[in-house]
A and B are shown apart, each in its own frame.
Chain A
Amino acid sequence: MSSIRMTLAGVSSIAGVKSNDTMSSWLKRSARALGLPLLGLLVFLLIWQAGAKQIHTSLGEFPGPSQVYQQTLSLIADHNAERARETDFYERQEQRNAERIAKDPSYEPKIREYTGKPTFFDQIGTSLVTVLAGFFIAGLIAIPLGICIGLNGALYSALNPIIQLFKPVSPLAWLPLVTMVVSAVYVTPDPLFAKSFLTSLFTVSLCCLWPTLINTAVGVSAVSPDLQNVSKVLRLSWGTHVVKIVLPSSVPMIFTGLRLSLGIAWMVLIAAEMLAQNPGLGKFVWDEFQNGSSDSLGRIMVAVLVIGLIGFLLDRIMLLLQRAFSWDKNAITR
Chain B
Amino acid sequence: MKTTLNRRSLCKKVVLATAVGLATLSASTAALAEIGYPEKEELKFGFIKLTDMAPLAIAYEKHYFEDEGLYVTLEAQANWKVLLDRVIDGQLDGAHMLAGQPLGATIGFGTKADIITAFSMDLNGNGITVSNDIWEQMKPNIPVGADGKPVHPIKADALKPVVDKYKAEGKPFNMGMVFPVSTHNYELRYWLAAGGIHPGYYAPEKGDISGQLQADALLSVTPPPQMPATMEAGTIYGYCVGEPWNQQAVFKGIGVPVITDYEIWKDNPEKVFGVSKEWADKYPNTHIRVVKAMIRAAKWLDENNNANRPEAVEILSRPTYVGADAEVIANSMTGTFEYEKGDKREVPDFNVFFRYNATYPYYSDAIWYLTQMRRWGQIAEQKPDSWYMDIAKKVYRPDIYALAAKELIADGVMDAADFPDFDSEDGFKAPQTQFIDGITYDGKKPNEYLEKFNIGLKGADKI
Contacts and interface: CB of A to CB of B under 8 A. Distances in A.
B71 A291 contact: no
Contact of A58 (B74, B76, B77, B252): B252
B137 interface: no
B320 A117 contact: yes
A224 interface: no
Interface in B34-81: 37, 41-42, 49, 60, 63, 66, 69, 71-74, 76-78
A112 B41 contact: yes
Interface string A142-170: 00000000000000000000000000000
Interface string A42-64: 00000000000000001100000
A287 to B, nearest CB: 6
Given A92-B63, A277-B78, A290-B226, A100 B324 contact: no
Interface in A99-132: 100, 104, 107, 110, 112, 115-117
A291 B78 contact: no
A96 interface: yes
Interface string B307-333: 000000000010110111100100000
B325 A58 contact: no
B254 interface: yes
B253 interface: yes
Given A58-B228, A59-B252, A288 B319 contact: yes
A40 B414 CA distance: 66
A10 interface: no
Interface residues of A, number: 27
B69 A100 contact: yes
B229 to A, nearest CB: 8
Nearest to A276: B78
A117 B319 CA distance: 10
Interface in A269-312: 277, 287-288, 290-296, 299
B248 interface: yes
B73 A287 contact: no
Contact of B324 (A93, A112, A117, A291): A291
A68 B320 CA distance: 20
A293 B76 contact: no
A294 B226 CA distance: 16
B356 to A, nearest CB: 31
A313 to B, nearest CB: 26
- How many residues of B sit at the interface, in one of the four size bands? 20 to 34
Nearest to A279: B75
B72 A292 contact: no
Contacts of A96: 66, 69
A58 B71 contact: no
B228 A292 contact: yes
Nearest to A57: B252
B21 to A, nearest CB: 26
A110 B71 CA distance: 11
A116 B73 CA distance: 7
Contacts of B325: 293-295
Contacts of B238: none
A291 B252 contact: no
B225 interface: yes
B437 interface: no
B232 interface: yes
Interface of A: 58-59, 78, 92-93, 96, 100, 104, 107, 110, 112, 115-117, 183, 195, 277, 287-288, 290-296, 299
Interface of B: 37, 41-42, 49, 60, 63, 66, 69, 71-74, 76-78, 89, 91, 225-226, 228-229, 232, 248, 252-254, 317, 319-320, 322-325, 328
10 contacts: A92-B63, A115-B42, A115-B60, A115-B72, A287-B319, A287-B323, A291-B49, A292-B228, A292-B229, A294-B325
Given A96-B66, A296-B323, 18 more contacts: A58-B228, A58-B232, A58-B254, A59-B252, A107-B37, A112-B41, A115-B74, A116-B320, A195-B91, A277-B78, A290-B49, A291-B322, A291-B323, A292-B225, A292-B228, A292-B248, A293-B323, A294-B325
